Structure 1
């Protein structure tokens, strides 16, 4: 009886392998532009003709010699690694030697290239994976790769691909992601021989992000770069770069712009993504998500890229430690320091300021112990006036701010409550009527002691310290019983206990509040995500009042 299992012929093996690596038009673009980046290109041009199943990638990178051109489309031929040990120290975007070989199996491949050290360039052409043309050409140093008749040998693959518009969108996303991770690159992208979009280079991803998200301004973003220690490895060096949207002005309806990159490539790390969302949860408005881009530059042996052929999923060592470092970086990025100050410019959305009608209530402004500003590296803020018994005018070296007193104090109290959440006994129990099962369960969850005190009546024996001395403690306990976790209860307690708008303050009281607020961990928004201050910078005031005008000219002389 003959064997049923047989070895596949080489051409079938190559076609199957190519179909796994090159599964779409976007995959071809990804592999080619990653090779350009590995070749240290600073200018990359991508030209797409999707209806003709054709594309071209041009770069000014190091180029290839004729010997390299003869080998580049062979299976598993690469200049990136040499042996098995190199798999644990990957420092390039490509390393498997599959890209050009796989493309040559499913398309016609033409390559023009000249190495920077060579005086002549070469053109090679591949059909059905075989070298069919080799000739000398005149070309500047760099590489031009043209892919034509993509998937002509796999008509079923063509029919199964998404629509042209969806494929074009995928290509755009890939280029946007690589532009963020390699901000020094100039990108030109063409579609059907017409300019589609350009991306200008920048020093950091902060300059790239506003080119991608058109409603985001450069001044809406904060950039932070930190050297971070590698756990258990004293000599290993790493750093993180964080671009984060200031929560009082930049956020999204969906968590679609929480991006993470590791060593030059955007990857999926759900644990770190959730860390960012959680760290920003009480800074952005309700039901909104942050805009953020985190780039970890780590020693190569801490990253295993062999999890997925597209290299979008990785194994990362010491993940809990990176989560902690990211949380600390976000906290530092949101602190108002002299480094962050230039980001505060005139907010054009003055008419969108939140007007919260607050009950008038007494407020006892007791000074709290705060660290000296020089220890916290904070800017000098001076309270100078109160407007409408609601806003505090704060002067600093570059202009002034309007600080909304209620939500600034709410931020102060919320962080104090977080650090020192305390329930104290009530001198006189508070009676609560007609609580349902869920309200009773909620109060017990918050560790508030309650016991039956008659039919439909319960007695509360303790309460949060800030609420216990208030006349409206009864209403506050009812509010807490209506749902939410401990954090929500802390927010509600801070909101109810904070100074009310309409309360007059003396200058010392205002200054004390400003000092406390400035020293908080997240001074830009209240715990509900509302903006706390409006910035009016000197440069913008000078521009508005035309102080740069020549007097004679301004009077028509």
Structure 2
């Protein structure tokens, strides 16, 4: 019988390996930026075109490579980081497996130029589908420049799985931020389609965080610093008011490598317990430095998930460090004065207070000033007290009022009480002139709407009900009837973070159908000329920011299409919040529109919009005490 097992050709094996390492353009960005950091560069440039589908280029001023190394670096598992098995557990560099460049060369067209600083001439290599097409000397700057062109050109099926340019751009921005945040001492620039996205100067960690996340965090960061023999923890956490409903501003770095760790995230959430709502996420940028022997970073293809030899002790250290930092911010500050040793030698400290001195002190006018009779809160009970005038005033009011057989003290007929209706009277006034089955709705605690029905009454959650109404209204707009736009008298310019700007650009066509008149204005800004008619004018910035937060929340929680996420986000962001006072007409409109919906009893998020109570149930509730 013939043998059927064969070794895969190198180009196919490389493409299979590339499937684990290079999933999208952002994966190549991560690998190339990390290689530049490992090369000792102080200035790193990232250039992309067409969201990385056409070009991803990284230029660094690092140590470069020799002609032989330039050729060897594209071989599978060719690395300078590991020579023995023990080196695998002492890794302090970003890359070490020698598979990134081989994987990139297997699914893209690659051109690399590199030169060592002490070499007069560099090397240029062109590789296509893992095959070296050209290798020759060239003139180039010291360092390395790698171009990755036409990603997945030889694997069309993989290219079809790529998302829109805006979505891929968001992933690229995320990877760039993670590397730039880990190395604030390096200069990073990021250019997309010939427009500068980031220019990050060398500086401190706080300066880098503010440059990336926004200037508004400048006064809202709390320093975290904990040094022990086992681990060193430093970085920043945001004050409680910076917490958001969505993830995205959470960064863990272990030995300067970005990681995702739900376990350590839980430690920080515990440290913030009782300071934040249950569905909020605090900002944090924390750096954990510990011996590489305690960490296994070779458990995931992207190296973003790692294992610790003792997770529990690290959990305790992280929680303690964050709690200590928050305590210094929240608790009354401790004034740390150095005690002057001369104070201990004063007579008031080292000599006893004799009885003669006590009598002399208590007899002084200064002492009497602070006795109980001179305190502001003490009320004189003597007959000379002015309180008797208040009693006289009460007696006069009492004699002027007609007697009532209620058994309760009469109310003085003073201006404050004249013509003031009772609570029962006010309710009766609102409910009068209505038929038995159509009572005017009443708002309860500015959160619920109580409305009478034939069989009893219903209690409506005003926010959930309005969310359902808006959700169905926006769905109809996307399907066949665009929403009307309210034009602004003065157009507003919105300045957004790069990742948020990419997200808005992705949603822009649908936002325009939903009533937003806005367009890109360059450099992460948008001009808003109009908003949906049911959104208050002048509130464009808050409206867009709230929409972004809700969209990120639904993106993380729901596996639905982008349009569905957008509609749910707009409905939740624009719905009437709990705590807003409503008039009778507004409440009645909510009731009428809610029961005209196709699914009135459930909000888009799955929450009940109303609860009904029957008269029979009320009768039973009141008869239980008999």
- TM-score, normalized by length of structure 1? 0.57
- In 2, are the aligned partners of 1:107 and 1:152 still within 8 Å (CA)? yes
Q: Which has the higher strand share?
A: 1
Whole-Å Cα distance in 1 between the matches of residues 178 and 44 of structure 2? 14
**The residue matched to 2:228 in structure 1 has which SS?**
strand
Quick check: 1:333 aligned with 2:325? yes
Give the deviation of 1:221 after TM superposition.
0.6
Matches within 5 A, 1:537-548: none
Whole-Å Cα distance in 1 between the matches of residues 55 and 112 of structure 2? 14
- In 2, are the aligned partners of 1:281 and 1:289 still within 8 Å (CA)? no
Q: Kindly provide the CA deviation profile for residues 1-57 of structure 1, in whole angstroms up to 9, marking residues without a partner as x.
A: 334443323332222112221121011111100000111112111111126522211
Q: Kindly provide the CA deviation profile for residues 435-471 of structure 1, in whole angstroms up to 9, marking residues without a partner as x.
A: xxxxxxxxxxxxxxxxxxxxxxxxxxxxxxxxxxxxx
Find 2:237's aligned residue among 235, 244, 255: 244
- What corresponds to 2:55 in structure 1? 54
Q: Which has the higher helix share?
A: 2
Give the deviation of 1:153 after TM superposition.
0.6
Quick check: 1:261 aligned with 2:262? no
Give the deviation of 1:285 after TM superposition.
5.4
Give the deviation of 1:331 after TM superposition.
2.4
- In 1, are the aligned partners of 2:221 and 2:238 still within 8 Å (CA)? yes
- In 2, are the aligned partners of 1:245 and 1:291 still within 8 Å (CA)? yes
Matches within 5 A, 1:290-369: 290-336=282-328
Quick check: 1:83 aligned with 2:76? no
- In 1, are the aligned partners of 2:271 and 2:320 still within 8 Å (CA)? no
- In 2, are the aligned partners of 1:30 and 1:174 still within 8 Å (CA)? yes
- What corresponds to 1:144 in structure 2? 145
**The residue matched to 2:62 in structure 1 has which SS?**
coil
Q: Kindly provide the CA deviation profile for residues 328-374 of structure 1, in whole angstroms up to 9, marking residues without a partner as x.
A: 2112212448xx98xxxxxxxxxxxxxxxxxxxxxxxxxxxxx9855
Matches within 5 A, 1:116-515: 116-204=117-205, 206-214=206-214, 216-230=216-230, 238-247=231-240, 249-284=241-276, 287-336=279-328, 374=337
- In 2, are the aligned partners of 1:121 and 1:138 still within 8 Å (CA)? yes
Quick check: 1:24 aligned with 2:24? yes
**The residue matched to 1:139 in structure 2 has which SS?**
coil
Give the deviation of 1:213 after TM superposition.
2.1
**The residue matched to 2:317 in structure 1 has which SS?**
helix
- TM-score, normalized by length of structure 2? 0.51
Q: Runs of 5+ in structure 1 lacking a partner?
A: 231-237, 342-370, 377-557
Whole-Å Cα distance in 2 between the matches of residues 224 and 336 of structure 1? 10
Aligned residue pair count: 337
Whole-Å Cα distance in 2 between the matches of residues 7 and 138 of structure 1? 40
Distance of aligned partners of 1:110 and 1:278 in 2 relative to their CA distance in 1, 3 Å threshold: same
Whole-Å Cα distance in 1 between the matches of residues 210 and 189 of structure 2? 17
Q: Runs of 5+ in structure 2 lacking a partner?
A: 340-626
Give the deviation of 1:327 after TM superposition.
1.8
Whole-Å Cα distance in 1 between the matches of residues 142 and 279 of structure 2? 51
Q: Kindly provide the CA deviation profile for residues 262-299 of structure 1, in whole angstroms up to 9, marking residues without a partner as x.
A: 11111111111001011112223564321111111111
Give the deviation of 1:76 after TM superposition.
0.8
Whole-Å Cα distance in 2 between the matches of residues 54 and 140 of structure 1? 20
Quick check: 1:13 aligned with 2:16? no
- What corresponds to 2:426 in structure 1? none
Over the aligned positions, Cα root-mean-square deviation in angstroms equals: 2.4
Q: Kindly provide the CA deviation profile for residues 241-279 of structure 1, in whole angstroms up to 9, marking residues without a partner as x.
A: 1311122x4221224323211111111111110010111
Give the deviation of 1:119 after TM superposition.
2.4
- In 2, are the aligned partners of 1:210 and 1:218 still within 8 Å (CA)? yes
**The residue matched to 1:123 in structure 2 has which SS?**
strand
Give the deviation of 1:120 after TM superposition.
2.0
Whole-Å Cα distance in 2 between the matches of residues 131 and 90 of structure 1? 30
**The residue matched to 2:28 in structure 1 has which SS?**
helix
Structure with bigger gyration radius: 2
